[in-house]
Amino acid sequence: MRVLRPITQTSFPSRAGLTLLEVLISLTIFLGALAAISQLISIGSRAALQAQLRTQAMIRCQSKLAEVISGAQPMESVSLSAFEDDNDNWKWSLNVEPGTYETLLKLTVDVQYSGDSETVTTSYQLTRQVRDPAELLDAANTVEVSDDTEMEDF
């Protein structure tokens, strides 16, 4: 005959801690989340650096175009010239072309930054149409000559 024993606490012992499998699974989840967060931090810092360089490229491009328009720089095409105040990482180019009208010139300034690695590069281009200074001088000379002839007639 078979004797049935009552179910007691001793037949099913209670667990006091975690099993090794649970620890390994939680550690894997933690390391995966940590890797994802470190990638996000890396992407964020790279984007911040790109934004800083792009802003600096815009400012340099605008100031170089202002120098050309004001006459501090000659209005001639230049290819990959270094800035005076910086190392060889920043380069600028100026392209002078005829504009949409015969009295206009199309100025295109291109500023480039090439850093130590391929991921740290940026460029910015700014185009503006201005009056041709040679045309303005010709017009001024024509006005002076016509004023002189009118004086002689009186």
What CATH number is given to the structural domain containing 38?
A: 3.30.1300
Report yes or no on 118 lying in a domain: yes
Residue 93 to residue 81: CA distance in whole angstroms: 6
Identify the residue whose tokens are 């201005």: 130
Does residue 73 lie in a domain region? Answer: yes
HEC profile of 69-118? HHCCCCCCCEEEEECCCCCCCEEEEEEEEECCCCCEEEEEEEEEEECCCC
pLDDT value of position 71: 85
Residue 126 lies in a domain: yes
Nearest to 105 by CA among 84, 77, 125: 77
- Does the residue 151 lie in any domain? no
Contact call for residues 128 and 121 (beta carbons, < 8 A): no
State the total domains in the chain. 1
43 found inside a domain:
yes
Is 16 contained in some domain? no
Q: Which domain holds residue 113?
A: 25-139
pLDDT of res. 139: 62
Q: Give the CA distances from residue 50 to residues 63, 68, 93, in Å, rounded to whole numbers and listed in that order.
A: 20, 27, 21
Q: Is residue 146 part of a domain?
A: no
pLDDT in tens, the chain (154 residues): 677 766 655 555 666 777 889 999 999 999 999 999 999 999 999 899 899 999 999 999 999 999 999 888 888 898 988 888 777 788 999 999 998 888 889 999 999 988 877 767 888 999 999 888 777 666 666 655 555 555 555 4
